[in-house]
Structure 1
Amino acid sequence: MHYTIIDIETTGGQNITEIAMCRHDGTKIIDSYSTLVNPQAYIPDYITALTGIDNAMVAEAPTFSEIAETILNFTQDSIFVAHNVNFDYNIIRNEFKTLGIDFNRKKLCTIRLSRKLLPGHASYSLGKLCRALNIDIQNRHRAKGDTDATVILFEMLLAQDGSKNVFQDFLRKTSKEATLPPHLPSQVFNRIPNAPGIYYFKNKKGKIIYVGKAKDLKKRVLGHFYNKSQKELDLCRDTADIDFELSGSETIALLMEDAAIKHHFPAYNQAAKRPPKSYAVFSYQDRQGILHLAYNTLKSAPNPIQIFHGIRECRSYLETLCLTYELCPKYCHLQEGVSECSHYAIHTCHGICRQEETVAKYNQRVTEAIEQIQNTTKDIVIKQTGRHPEEESFILIQNGSYRGYGFVDKSEQIMHSSDLETFLIPQKDTIDIQRVLRPLILKATNSN
């Protein structure tokens, strides 16, 4: 069995500035190759400070397309080996992809192999691990120097008791070892269940860097490791631990996720995005005594009777009310600046805008619509699946506001919503939460 031990340097992105490869037959090096690479992109100063490679050094170097055939031939019929293999492998594979070539090799990660065969080290970064093992690295953060050190580490791994079985296990198609983040112990991943809940990616310091939710936790977490986008690669590289909480249902997982993101503000969640502008439906009476249903931004809506996270959802809700209660699109402000309504989809107006219906009859239907909106703000308990067969979960709405969720053993005697207070996990009501819960609230209201 042959191995190709590889290290690359980059511009800090997807462009390679240097590559070094050693072909190994399991006993010794049988061939080697290294070269600077013209990345056809600017090398930032901080990368030059780290690697010593600057723009002048690579100006006359070959481009990746000029060395692509060499890399293909060199790695042919061998196993791709690197320290944090997914980083090097994916960047090289993406470079080939731009050339229309599908680069596909079996791979081994010396970080993950070291964790298995050389347990107990405080850090498995190449520099610190080599220092602990007395492996001298010449020209750190240069492809040739790092590859030479990785070769010595690789040979040390090959010499460990049980290495043959470990290598075989890691190379099996069903093995997740080559897929998992380099700093994540496999036992951490293995304990994640196939159940609904939320998960926390943590870095080496134990800080939460990403929060997600899933109907199937294990499947969703694994999906991050297969995703080859730059954001996911960066996330996986920084992940050293994963924690999780079961939710029982996907809806409660959504609520838990929203609360966790707003509490922890993880670096890899888009929590810093500008929050969506809120809109509200309100009513007022004009000089003719006609009741209007209108909408505006939440800040500009007097006595809002329903709040939405976006204008499209707000207008869509008004259109539904207009159709259901046969209201006038003009007086629901779905059409502005017209003397008579002529909506493209709503033709149920009885003629209030043409003086063909009395104000009293029209206002009665508007009042019914407002009462329907207000009915959705009563106390509601939404039942959900529990985290295990002997348990149920619930979502509590009181006076139209989200109070939180909780879990109750099926043996408990619950006679009234007030009995749930003991089991309630209080949460904040937000526009995002209202968007999640609105369909469930409407369903619960209509069923009653």
Structure 2
Amino acid sequence: MIYTIIDVETTGQSNRMTEISIFKFNGDTVIDEFTSLINPETYIPQHITALTGIDDHMVADAPRFAEVAEDILNITEGAIFVAHNVNFDYKVISGEFSRIGLEFNRKKLCTVRLSRRLLPGHRSYSLGKLCSALEINLIGRHRARGDAEATTILFELLLQQPEASDVFKEFLNKNSKEATLPPNLPKETFEALPDTAGIYYFKDKKGVVIYVGKAINIKKRVLSHFYSKTKKAQDMVRETRDIDFESSGSELIALLMEDAAIKHHFPMYNKVAKRTIQTVAIFSYEDRSGILHLASNKGRLTPNPIITFFNVRDVRSYMEKICAKHNLCPKYCHLQEAVAECSHYSIKNCKGVCRNEESVEAYNNRVLEAIHDMSNQKEDFILREKGRNPNEEAFVMIKDGDYLGYGFVDKDSQINHMDDLNAFLIPQKNSVDIQKILRPYILNI
């Protein structure tokens, strides 16, 4: 079996390659080598130069990736792609090939994950600390050739371990997730994740939560992070040492749990909204003919809103329901603009105020009834959701229009009144974010 042990240096955030080194290894001997600086065709940040020693001047006359692409394809053809934290190097190289319109597909092995399995017990599996612990001479740290050469020596050591043959077969199995998982995440941790709805926590080496997400299928959603090519996702999975989860039973409960968890942990990789949430409000006004209109506008421009939403689509959907329920005119509900009389595609029950077939007074009375309905949304009710198992139900409790929290209750529990659920309630804080989550469910939009 032939292996190519590879290391690349990059510009950092833009992930453009600045150097590559490839050692072709047959299991006993290095049989070929390719090492080259690469002109990234972009600026190299100062902090990257401080780390690698590679600056703009050094790469000014170096070949562009397109000029060495054929050499890389030739030396890696038919070989297994090996690297320390293989997903990083592989994504950099495949990204460079993608930019020039070529595909790059190779089987992968990660020396971090192999080392964790075959050389257990080390405090750190970073290349520098592992080489130090194993007395591997690493010359030229953070340069492609130095790191690739040290990784080759480490890889040879891994091949010599008693269980190497079985472990290598397992890692190369096409159904194995070993080449996909973050280098520092145990496979058992990933396999323990459920394929049900809930939230999940990415944790770093100190156990600090660095990301919270929600999913209808936790395992599938977590795996998608490992395939992501964004810089943020790559940085996050490299730092991930553990993944925890909480089942929710339904997407709604997962959304509520996620919001609470983010506000509690403030994970570094979650974007906590600092901007003011934009709202859209329904309001009423009387025109020169004395007809009451229902219309919508941005919340901050509406002094006396009847009811508030968080996007235009929900406002329109709700307005259509109110219009149909109270036999209002689509024209005067501003569902149709610049028309002499209404001709809405689905609302056909206007009584003719727009055609002078109904009195303004009679029409306005129905508008006032609609306003009363909209203004009295604050009530006590329970949203019922699917539980975490077949014998359970979930619920969301709202009193006087305010969210109090969620809970889980066995189906055989005797619940005769809303107050009976208090014993099962997991209290939560209400917020504008929560209102945004709940509004479509409350109004059944």
Within 5 A, what are the aligned runs for 1:86-101? 86-101=87-102
2:203 matched to 1:202?
A: yes
> TM-score with structure 1 length normalisation?
0.91
CA contact (8 A) 1:278 1:431 kept: no
Structure 1: 5+ residue stretches without partners: none
Secondary structure of the residue that 2:88 maps to in structure 1? helix
Secondary structure of the residue that 1:93 maps to in structure 2? helix
CA shift digits 1:213-234 (9 cap, x unpaired) = 1111111111221233333222
Distance 1:288 1:62 in 2: 76
Secondary structure of the residue that 1:406 maps to in structure 2? strand
- Residue in 2 that maps onto 1:73: 74
CA contact (8 A) 1:339 1:353 kept: no
- Residue in 2 that maps onto 1:6: 6
Query: Cα distance, 1:308 vs. partner?
Result: 0.6
Query: Cα distance, 1:259 vs. partner?
Result: 2.1
The letter of the residue matching 1:219 is: K
> TM-score with structure 2 length normalisation?
0.91
CA contact (8 A) 1:7 1:82 kept: yes
- Residue in 1 that maps onto 2:29: 28
Distance 2:123 2:285 in 1: 67
CA RMSD across the alignment: 2.5
The letter of the residue matching 2:164 is: S
The letter of the residue matching 1:5 is: I
Secondary structure of the residue that 2:138 maps to in structure 1? coil
- Residue in 2 that maps onto 1:390: 391
Distance 2:100 2:297 in 1: 52
Distance 1:116 1:411 in 2: 46
2:242 matched to 1:241?
A: yes
- Residue in 2 that maps onto 1:37: 38
Distance 1:99 1:51 in 2: 26
Distance 1:124 1:16 in 2: 24
Q: Percent identity between the aligned chains?
A: 59
Secondary structure of the residue that 1:222 maps to in structure 2? helix
Distance 1:135 1:122 in 2: 16
Query: Cα distance, 1:262 vs. partner?
Result: 3.0
Structure 2: 5+ residue stretches without partners: none
Distance 1:113 1:270 in 2: 34
CA contact (8 A) 2:183 2:238 kept: yes
- Residue in 1 that maps onto 2:435: 434
CA shift digits 1:238-257 (9 cap, x unpaired) = 22211110101122111111
Query: Cα distance, 1:379 vs. partner?
Result: 1.4
Query: Cα distance, 1:413 vs. partner?
Result: 1.4
Deviates more, 1:360-369 or 1:349-358: 349-358
- Residue in 1 that maps onto 2:171: 170
Aligned positions, number: 443
The letter of the residue matching 1:43 is: I
Query: Cα distance, 1:343 vs. partner?
Result: 7.2
Distance 1:263 1:296 in 2: 33
Query: Cα distance, 1:344 vs. partner?
Result: 6.6
Secondary structure of the residue that 1:357 maps to in structure 2? coil
Query: Cα distance, 1:95 vs. partner?
Result: 1.0
Deviates more, 1:103-112 or 1:317-326: 317-326
Secondary structure of the residue that 2:213 maps to in structure 1? strand
CA shift digits 1:7-31 (9 cap, x unpaired) = 0001112211111111111112122
Distance 1:143 1:370 in 2: 69
Within 5 A, what are the aligned runs for 1:50-61? 50-61=51-62
Query: Cα distance, 1:286 vs. partner?
Result: 7.0
Secondary structure of the residue that 1:120 maps to in structure 2? coil
Within 5 A, what are the aligned runs for 1:28-427? 28-272=29-273, 274-283=275-284, 290-302=291-303, 304-329=305-330, 331-332=332-333, 349-352=350-353, 356-374=357-375, 376-427=377-428
Query: Cα distance, 1:300 vs. partner?
Result: 4.8
Distance 2:88 2:309 in 1: 42
